[in-house]
Structure 1
Amino acid sequence: MAKEQTDRTTLDLFAHERRPGRPKTNPLTRDEQLRINKRNQLKRDKVRGLKRVELKLNEEAVDALNQLAQARDISRSELIEEMLLAQLKNLTSQ
C-alpha cells in the first residue's frame, strides 16, 4: 500500500513525521500542570500571609473598582484590601 501524503487515517505511517506547532516542553498534561501551579501559588500566598476570600459583585461595582485601581496604579485586590482595612478602622474607632 502506497503512503499518500494527504492520508491521515493511518497514524502509524506518520508517527515519525514532525508536525507543525509548538513543541511539547513539559511531560505533564495541561491539567496536571495547572494543578501543580495552583498548589504552588497557594503555598506562596500562605508564606506571604495571604488568605483567599471570594465574593461576587455586580458588573457596575467591578467596573468602578477597576477604574479606581487603574487610576491609583494598584491591583483591584490591593484596592479592595485598602478599602476594607479603612472601613474596619473606622468601625473600631467609633
Structure 2
Amino acid sequence: MAKQEADRTTLDLFADERRPGRPKTNPLPRQAQLRLNKRNQLRRDRERGLRRIELKVDEQLFSKLNLLADERRLSRAELIEVLLLQQLAQQDLD
C-alpha cells in the first residue's frame, strides 16, 4: 500500500510526523504552572495588604450579589467589600 500525503485515515502511517501546532512556551507542565501562578498571586495580594476571606451563602443571596455587582459594574468581591465597609461605618455611628 502506497502512502499518500492527503490520506489521513491511516494514522499509523503518520505517527512519526510532527504536526504544526501551538509552540510550547513554558518548560513546566500545566499543573506546575498553575501552582506557581497561584503562589505569585497570593504573594502580590499579601504585598497589597489583602487578606482572604471565604464565605458560603445560599444560592438566592449569591444570585442577588451577582445582579447587584453587575448593576454597579463591580466584581462580586468588590461589592461585598463595599457592603461590609458600609455596615461597619454604620455600626461606628451607632
- TM-score normalised per structure 2: 0.79
Q: Distance in 2 between matches of 1:19 and 1:72?
A: 48
Per-residue CA shift, 1:40-65, capped at 9, x if unaligned? 10111111110011111111111111
Q: CA deviation at 1:22?
A: 2.4
Q: CA deviation at 1:18?
A: 1.3
Q: Percent identity?
A: 58
Q: Distance in 2 between matches of 1:42 and 1:48?
A: 10
The runs of at least 4 consecutive aligned structure 1 residues that moved more than 2 Å come to 19-23
Structure 1: stretches of 5+ with no match in the other structure: none
Alignment length (residue pairs): 88
Q: Distance in 2 between matches of 1:58 and 1:20?
A: 48
User: What residue number does 2:65 align with?
Assistant: 65
**1:1-94 map, 5 Å:** 6-7=11-12, 14=16, 17-94=17-94
Structure 2: stretches of 5+ with no match in the other structure: 4-9
The aligned amino acid for 2:74 is I
The aligned amino acid for 1:7 is D
User: What residue number does 2:7 align with?
Assistant: none
